[in-house]
Structure 1
Amino acid sequence: MSTPTATATALATALADAPADATAGAPAATGARTPQAAGVITGARERIDDLDGRIIGLVQERMAVSAVIQRERIASGGRRVNLSREMEILNHYSEQLGKPGTALAMTLLELCRGRV
């Protein structure tokens, strides 16, 4: 599995090789000062837009799966929230992404909690 830095470097290299005519007129829209940089930025932004769409879809899927878990837990007499499981999730995100990962996990848990 490649690291985010390696992936970004590979993407920048591939986009830098894009034909100049594919980036004509793009510098102003991207804030870049050269057509080549504008091409890299435009391609990278398209990739980010695609990733954002996939992330949103995954979050929505996570919310639906969480609702199933909550319904089953409540139907069996349990509580809506399992705090020890939430701590596992917070720790996992923190280990992988640092302090911002904890904030991200908190947001995900908030989105998924109490939807039943």
Structure 2
Amino acid sequence: MAVLGIPSYALIATGNMALAILGACLMAVVFAGHTAVIHILIVELFPTRVRYSAYGLGYNVSSALFGGTAPLLMTWLISSTGNIYMPAFYAVITALGTLAAVSTVKDRAHLPLRDA
């Protein structure tokens, strides 16, 4: 998303239906790759005894806070700055933040699932 966010949004913003569909499809493919692994990553961050609660709270609260307020925030940013690319910048910034967070995660593949 950090690499393709702005070019994809530029395609969407052209006003050409074919290019807009291409831009949306590019973003959908990138987002699908994120969605394919994020749930497994979040679940593996927590010990078995609190895994479902921690996953449910963490994922849903962050989705509500960031996803729920994104349309309002983007509308405000576009009207404040006059820049229609603000959603693309937001996507790139959040992708870079995700990359920073994910790069600190330790591999737990060979650890036991149950707490000792």
State the TM-score, normalized to the length of structure 1: 0.40
- Higher-Rg member (1/2): 1
State the TM-score, normalized to the length of structure 2: 0.40
